[in-house]
Each structure stands twice: as C-alpha cells, then as structure tokens.
C-alpha cells in the first residue's frame, strides 16, 4: 500500500490492539454480529459497503501536511490512555459524539474530510444502490413491470449517521473520492530519506558484522598458523 500508508496502517493496528487489550474485545464487533445475523436470513446478501481502506489511507495521507503527519503519528505511537466500557457508552451520546467530531475537525480538518465526510458520501451512495426497488420477473415482454421495495439493514458507525442523513437526497457521484492523488513533494522526500536511512543502516550493519567476522577469523590460532606457514614458503 505504499510506505506512508503502510506505516499509518501499522499505527492504527497498534491503536486497535490497545483498545482490544483495554476492553477485552476487538473493534468492529457490530460488523461481525451483522454478518452472523445475515447468515440466518434466507436469500440475504451481505455486502461490505465502505470505501476500500487503501484508497481512504492514501487520500488521508495525501491531504495532510508533513508536520500534520508527524503530529498524528506521534499521537498514535504514544496512545496509552485507559479506556473503559463506560467510556465507550459515553461516546454513544449524541452531544459528546458531536463534540469529539468537532475537535477532530478543528485539529485535523483534512483528515476529517477524507476519513469521515468522504466516507459519508460513499456509504450513502452504496446504501442507496442497495435500497433500489427490486424488479419482479415477468412472464412475457408485454406484461407490465412490477417492483417490490428492497429491505436493507445498514450497519454503520454512529459518527456517519448525520452525514448519511444529510446526503441521502443528494445526487451523489463517487468517482472523485475514489481517485488517489499523486504523492506530494514532501512525501517523496520523506520516502527517499526513509529508504536511504534503512539501506544505509543495513549496509553499515553488514560492514560491522563483516569486519568483526574477519578480525575474529584472523585471530584464531589455526588461521595465524596457516598465514605464518604461507609467509615462510620461499618465493619462486
């Protein structure tokens, strides 16, 4: 998924592991429960309706400046605040949720746009596609078309509900929010520096190991005896 996107995904997995350790359950349990319930309903189709993670990550990273990336990565690296089940229940309150979203907008407006607002549009679009009326099969071409309403259950995060309601009656197009912008100059520089650092450290490590290995081999009595015999051989 790319260097920056891969690093960000690793940091978010660290956050997920922290939440799992604190609460004793992994995030996303509501989606696993939805999948389990869908398997009990005859002819039920289960559809993953969120935007692909690589697209969201790459668009989010491209939207952040270099220092915003550093600030976000620093915050994710040192996330160690205790989380209780009561804290999770408090997050379900609409006022507190709106306050948290407002704080995110104030601190990382571009991150909120790519991770929340754009996905609101994508989720709304996919829900509307799933909610289209179903055409019944016709006995002949002359028979009038008949439709029945689709029954859809959408399982989404609470933070997306206001955006879905806001976008529901809009004419939505998702082509723009599915494109991945080219990397910024700062991203290219960071990627080059990171690669140069990694390869430089690997090269230095190989040099140090090789140097010590040669010194160790040369210091062995058998090696010194062999070298001494070679030096005593008369030159032709």
* Helix (H), strand (E) at residue 216: helix 185-219
User: Structural domain boundaries of the chain?
Assistant: 2-134+143-182, 188-232
CA within 13 Å, CB half, 180: 13
Using 50, 70 and 90 to split pLDDT, how confident is the model at 56?
A: confident
Buried b (16+ CB within 10 A) or exposed e, 4-29: bbebbeebeeeeeebbeebeeeeeee
- Asked whether the predicted pLDDT for residue 211 surpasses 70, the reply is yes
Burial of 85-113, coded b for 16+ CB within 10 Å and e otherwise, reads: eeeeeeeeeeeebeeebeeeeeebeebbb
pLDDT of residue 221: 77
Lowest-confidence segment of 7-21, 23-37, 88-102, 206-220 by average pLDDT? 88-102
pLDDT per residue over 83-125, tens digit each?
A: 777 877 777 777 766 777 777 778 788 888 988 999 999 999 9
Tell me the C-alpha distance between 78 and 11, whole Å: 10
Whether 21 shows a pLDDT value over 90: the answer reads no
Instruction: Say yes or no to pLDDT of 38 above 70.
Output: yes
Distance between CA atoms of residues 8 and 179, nearest Å: 19
Is the pLDDT confidence value at 235 over 60? no
């Amino acid at each position: 998924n790319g260097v920056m996107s891969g690093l960000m995904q690793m940091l978010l997995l660290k956050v997920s592991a922290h939440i799992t350790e604190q609460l004793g359950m992994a995030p996303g349990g509501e989606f696993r429960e939805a999948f389990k319930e869908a398997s009990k309903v005859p002819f039920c189709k289960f559809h993953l309706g969120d935007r692909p993670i690589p697209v969201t990550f790459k668009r989010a990273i491209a939207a952040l400046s270099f220092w915003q990336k550093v600030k976000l990565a620093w915050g994710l690296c040192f996330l160690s605040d205790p989380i209780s089940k009561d804290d999770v229940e408090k997050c379900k309150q609409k006022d507190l949720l709106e306050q948290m979203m407002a704080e995110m907008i104030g601190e990382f407006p571009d991150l909120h746009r790519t991770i929340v607002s754009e996905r609101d549009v994508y989720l709304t679009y996919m829900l509307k596609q799933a909610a289209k009326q179903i055409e019944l099969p016709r006995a002949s071409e002359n028979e009038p078309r008949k439709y029945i309403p689709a029954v859809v259950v959408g399982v989404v995060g609470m933070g997306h509900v206001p955006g879905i309601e806001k976008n529901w009656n809009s004419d939505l197009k998702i082509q723009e929010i599915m494109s991945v912008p080219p990397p910024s100059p700062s991203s290219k520089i960071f990627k080059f520096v990171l690669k140069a650092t990694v390869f430089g450290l690997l090269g230095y490590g190989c040099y140090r190991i090789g140097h010590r290995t040669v010194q160790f081999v040369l210091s062995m009595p058998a090696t010194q005896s062999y070298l001494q015999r070679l030096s005593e051989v008369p030159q032709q």
